[in-house]
Amino acid sequence: MTKVITLLLFGFVAYYWAHTQKLKQLATQAGRHRCREAGVQFLDHTVVQNKLSFIRDKQKRWQLVREYHFDFTSTGEHRYLGKVVVHGRHVVATELETFSIN
């Protein structure tokens, strides 16, 4: 019986890891797209999960919310912070810190 529980636990962990990687890819694409729209350079080619929490959606169901941070630059000299917010499996917000154009 413990072998079955162990296998189920490993299966759940593997599924959760794969799902998290897909969401990280989604957040990375959203960050790159936002940077392209703003005419700035997306740095380090990745995002980092900063926050994990639960909220209730419009249908009063609990939903997992992930917040990812990334760095970007407008001039090549200074790094600025960007943020991608993912509710469930959907990107709901991408934000860029105020940056200098010069």
pLDDT tens per residue, the chain (102 residues)?
899 999 999 999 999 999 999 999 999 999 999 999 999 999 999 999 999 999 988 889 999 999 999 999 998 889 999 999 999 899 999 999 999 886
Read off the amino acid at residue 77. Answer: E
Cβ 73 vs Cβ 81: under 8 Å: no
pLDDT of residue 80: 96
Going by their DSSP bridges, the two strands 80-87 and 90-96 should be labelled as antiparallel
Own/partner pairs, 23-28, CB within 8 angstroms, 24+ separation: 23/66, 23/86, 23/89, 24/49, 24/68, 26/86, 26/89, 26/91, 27/66, 27/68, 27/84, 27/86, 27/91, 28/68, 28/70
